[in-house]
Amino acid sequence: MTLHAVPPAGEADWPKAGDRPIVFLVDASSSAERRLVGQWVERNRPERAEYRVCAVPPSRRRRFRRSIGVALKEIASGDTDPLLVPLRVAWLGPHRSGRRIPRLVDLLTYGDPRDPNRLVQELFVRFRPDRIRVVVGDAAPLSDLRTRWVEARTARPDDPYGFAEYIALQGSLALEVAERRVRGNRYKVPRLLSEDLLGSAKFQLGLERIAARTGERVDDLAATAARYLKEIAAQPSTFVLDLVASLIRLVYTQGYDRRIHYDPEALERIAELGQRHSLAFLPSHKSNMDHLALTYVLYENGLPPNHAAGGINMNFFPVGPFLRRHGLFFIRRSFKDNEAYKYTLKRYLDYLLEKRFPLEWYIEGGRSRVGKLRAPKYGLLAYVVDSWRRGSCDDVVLIPTSIAYDQIQDVGAYAAEQRGAAKEKESFGWMVRVLRTMRRRYGRIHMNFGEPISVADSVSRYGKGSEPDPEESNLEIQKLAFEVAVRINRVTPITPISLVTIALLGTDRAVTVAETIATLRDFVAYVELRDLPISEPVDLEDPSVVRGALDSLVEHGVVSRFEGGRETVYAIGSDQHLAAAYYRNTIVHFFLTGAIAELGLAAAANAETDPLAVFWDTVRTTRDLLKFEFFFAERDEFRAELAEELEASVPDWEARVAAGDGDLVLRAVLPSASSWVLRPVFEAYLVLADALVDVDFRRDADKDALLAAALALGAQYRAQRAIRSPEAVSTVLFDDALRLAGNRELLLGGDLSRLEEREAFAADLHGMVELVREVEQLRA
């Protein structure tokens, strides 16, 4: 087969070497690539230019890698100081609509367009020369590389074999950068992780320190660390990135609209940040689709793929190896006492941040089963902050990311888990069942990016060699995680589905479309007044829009529809409340401040003396009871937010409350929110508190037994109508109540005073539920 010349358009220039001789380090995995590089040299060589070609082990098709050749060893040990110039052939994807993104059919026909097999290479040379480029990596004199090698390896400068390997490694890294300039950041992936990380002097020095503490041999630790790195590290493949992007689109369009809704300008700003700083995307976690949706949006816009953290439970065959090549790295759930594992994980994160490979993990740890953000987990955030403190990079910019859905396929399973069912274990069969559920229509996917957070501006770095104060450091991490959650909430969009579920959950009877519209008016007005984020502009006065939302909920078994009478009516059955509440809870944070204000106003209306003081005391007590349930601003800031909330409806509210007119202010504040925002929470807490009173106060409470007792007691209270909210019987809400009780040391055994404390806790919660009832009566 005749080899055709590559067109000169877009080719790199001949390197400027001055008086130095040139040595081309040719990274070629096939005879076609070697000939293409040779043609480039001959086509671009100035007259009488002297050069030498030296093969280095190919970075592609590494299973066919050769060892360091004699020629490179001679150059490494020689007395001359040539200019070393890396060369490689870059194979490009097909060009369509101004972008080089292969389609699924391209991948299945030709394989990886950036690493075609030898037959496809020859076909491209003959028929598609526009898909071929010869790239030139940044050149460096041999003497410069020798200096860097000595500094990096702290090795003998007269060791020619080690230096030759270093030359080959640096040449491959330079070519990766050069090829990325041609292909774009969409395919920015680490190629030589093990060589670059495990062989570094810094890594070896750390192993020596561990060996000195533990008495283990350094060689044994090095082998263990290499094994752990293989277990942890992602191995992203450009072919798999293309393949996954095509499959993601195929999967999500089965159940959702073809376009994921996001702001392209926000992504452009994030891309600019990524050019200067290390990035970490921290998305909300509501569905198994979250990571896929974010992956596709980044791919579609040419941003580098994220290195996403995943639990080791996801590393099952055949999914685990595929996810690893897609960019997931896997972390064990527990490794506190494993020094080698902990050290390897830290250094892996250092490497990713130093090289600006963006990270991704869920600040909540796992998927939210109730719709609202879960309490943040600090582990990986603390590791990233510690890496920045160690100097891995100048800054890490956190990107709070809200991923919202009109509806999700997981909501039925979430409701079952809240009733006490076991979470289904991840497996290949589980994945197949998840994919099958995508055959139904779920609406749209919405992705919003919150204001970025600079780690450098948020936490202290401390001086070189000094250790941070653990208590102060933990507090900084907690505040940082809290701020991430607040910014995610701030950009979470309000969807028509979430508003409709508020209307349905606010009544205990079936309603018509017209009645639903009437209930929604106050909420729509509030959203417009506060300029809250919405998923899409829709007219909720339009019966067809509201009927469409209701019918969509009916299709997925969240709402029941009753036809055949004068009018069609809709209702949420007793076994559907948890599913419906999920969608309502995705936006509950927007109405929380007003709901707490309502309780304060009701208490002030019944106060015999100083009603304004009673108002603020009730607000403080309510906020304290809910501190494990919602994210609050600092006390003074929250007080200002609440005052601003009331001033929007009643400008002179404070004077009127002080004058004893709290009930009038309460009726003027719209919309009413305490009954659906706070009642389910306080009734759940009440159930657990009553169950805790029944536990032997002399012994520590067993959490699992207490949760089981709370589920049984909650079912009894529901049957007796002692509590009104079906969603109050929820293991998730009980867990938060447990955290509150634990924070007050009520789970510990003690003397008779412990029983009194538990009874007082239960009485406080009964009082809060009663206060919600008073709000409803005052508004009636």
The string of DSSP codes covering 665-700 is HHHHSSS--HHHHTHHHHHHHHHHHHHHHTS-TTSP
In this predicted structure, what is the pLDDT of residue 158? Answer: 44
Query: Would you say residue 65 has pLDDT above 80?
Result: no
CA atoms within 13 A on the CB side of 160: 12
pLDDT tens sequence across 158-213? 444 588 888 998 998 899 888 888 888 888 888 778 878 887 878 888 999 999 99
Assess whether pLDDT exceeds 60 at residue 40. yes
Dist. CA 698–CA 711, nearest whole Å: 23
Spatial CB neighbours of 95, under 8 Å, sequence gap ≥ 6: 130, 131
Give the whole-angstrom CA distance, residue 257 versus residue 238: 26
Instruction: Let me know if 357 is exposed, middle or buried by CB neighbors in 10 A (0-12, 13-18, 19+).
Output: buried
Q: Per-residue confidence at 156, pLDDT binned at 50, 70, 90? A: very low
Tens of pLDDT, residue by residue over 602-614, are 999 999 899 999 9
Q: How confident is the model at residue 430 (pLDDT cuts 50, 70, 90)?
A: low
- Mean pLDDT, to the nearest integer, of 592-602? 96
Q: With CA atoms as reference, report the closest residue to 160 among 86, 68, 23.
A: 68
Tokens describing residue 245: 């992007």
Q: Which residues contact 568 (CB under 8 A, 6 or more apart)?
A: 512, 513, 561, 562
What does the DSSP assignment read for 600-636? Answer: HHHHHHT-SS-HHHHHHHHHHHHHHHTTTTS----HH
C-alpha to C-alpha distance for 400 and 491, rounded to whole angstroms: 9
- Give the strand pairing for 396-405 and 445-449: antiparallel
ω into 318 cis (within 30 of 0): yes
| Cα 151 from chain centroid (whole Å) | 37
Query: Which residues, including other chains, have CB under 8 Å from residue 190's CB and lie 6 or more apart?
Result: 196, 236, 351, 352, 355, 357
**270 is written with which tokens?**
């994030």
Residue 3 has pLDDT above 60, yes or no: no
Provide the 8-state DSSP code for 411. H
User: What is the pLDDT, as a whole number, of residue 104?
Assistant: 82
Dist. CA 760–CA 764, nearest whole Å: 6
Rounded percentage of the chain residues whose pLDDT exceeds 70: 95
Q: Across all residues in the chain, what is the average pLDDT? A: 89
Mean pLDDT of 252-279: 94
Nearest 5°: CA angle at 616, between 613 and 618? Answer: 105
Sign of CA dihedral 148, 153, 154, 155: negative
Q: How large a percentage of the chain has pLDDT more than 90?
A: 62
Closest residue by Cα to residue 400 from 277, 490, 476, 292 = 490
pLDDT digit string (tens) for 632-646?
988 999 999 999 999
Does residue 399 contact residue 507 with C-beta atoms inside 8 Å? no
Query: For the segment 701-722, what is each residue's pLDDT rounded down to a tens digit?
Result: 999 999 999 999 999 999 999 9
The per-residue b/e assignment along 564-603, b for 16 or more CB within 10 angstroms, e otherwise, is eeeeebbebeeebbbbbbbbbbbbbbbbbbbbbbbbbbbb
Q: Residues with Cβ < 8 Å from 90, sequence gap 6 or more?
A: 114, 132, 133, 134, 135, 179, 182, 183
- State the pLDDT at residue 426: 66
Report the amino acid identity of residue 736: D
- The winner for highest mean pLDDT among 286-290, 324-328, 496-500 is 496-500
Count the neighbouring beta carbons within 10 Å of the beta carbon of residue 196: 17
- Provide the 8-state DSSP code for 487: H
Instruction: Characterize the bridge pairing of strands 359-360 and 278-283.
Output: parallel
Overall average pLDDT of the 731-736 stretch: 94
- Residue 7 main-chain phi, psi, to 5 deg: -60, 145
Identify which has the larger pLDDT, 280 or 412: 280
Question: pLDDT confidence of 1, banded at 50, 70, 90?
Answer: very low
Beta bridge partners, 307, equal: 359
Confidence of residue 350 (pLDDT cuts 50, 70, 90): very high
The pLDDT assigned to 734 comes to: 96
Beta carbons within 8 Å of 332's beta carbon, 6+ residues apart: 312, 341
Closest CA to 328 of 316, 344, 341, 343: 316
The predicted model scores a pTM of 0.87
Q: For 375-395, what is the mean pLDDT? A: 92
**3-class SS at 351?**
helix
Question: Do the beta carbons of residue 663 and residue 778 sit within 8 Å?
Answer: yes
323: pLDDT confidence band, cut at 50, 70 and 90? confident
Interacting residues of 37 by C-beta distance below 8 A, sequence separation 6+? 24, 26, 28, 53, 87, 88, 89, 134
**Phi, psi of 549, deg, nearest 5:** -65, -45
Residue 75 to residue 77: CA distance in whole angstroms: 5
Confidence (pLDDT) at 160: 47
